[in-house]
């Protein structure tokens, strides 16, 4: 499996108002650039108040997150970066 990057990497916002859909992505590549574990949250929309889910992202790790195109992501710290992505075989 190969990663297909479809957008520029950007730091995740740190609250619901700063959350992003990352270009209405349905797959987002997340990178935690520090050794500290960070909480990542998925909400119903940018600025939304309904939490879809959260998870702790280990330090110095990469995760691929599937979500609805309208759902938004933010992290507990701006050291988590994300970009719109997909997978090819």
> What pLDDT is recorded for position 3?
84
**CA-CA distance, 41 to 1, in Å (whole number)?**
26
Would you give per-residue pLDDT tens digits along the chain (89 residues)? 788 889 899 999 999 999 999 999 999 999 999 999 999 999 999 999 999 999 999 999 999 999 999 999 999 999 999 999 987 76
Interacting residues of 71 by C-beta distance below 8 A, sequence separation 6+: 21, 42, 43, 44, 45, 52
E strands within 13-79?
27-32, 38-43, 51-57, 62-66, 72-75
pTM metric for this prediction: 0.92
Domain count, the chain: 1
Cβ contact 23:6 at 8 Å? yes
Q: What domain range includes position 65?
A: 2-88
């Amino acid at each position: 499996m190969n990663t297909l990057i479809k957008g520029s990497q950007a730091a995740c916002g740190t609250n619901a108002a700063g959350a992003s859909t990352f270009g209405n992505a349905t797959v987002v590549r997340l990178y935690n650039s520090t050794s500290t574990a960070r909480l990542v949250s998925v909400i119903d929309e940018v600025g939304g108040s309904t939490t879809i889910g959260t998870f702790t992202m280990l330090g110095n790790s990469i995760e691929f997150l599937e979500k609805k195109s309208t759902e938004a992501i933010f992290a507990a710290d701006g050291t988590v970066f994300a970009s719109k992505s997909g997978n090819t075989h």
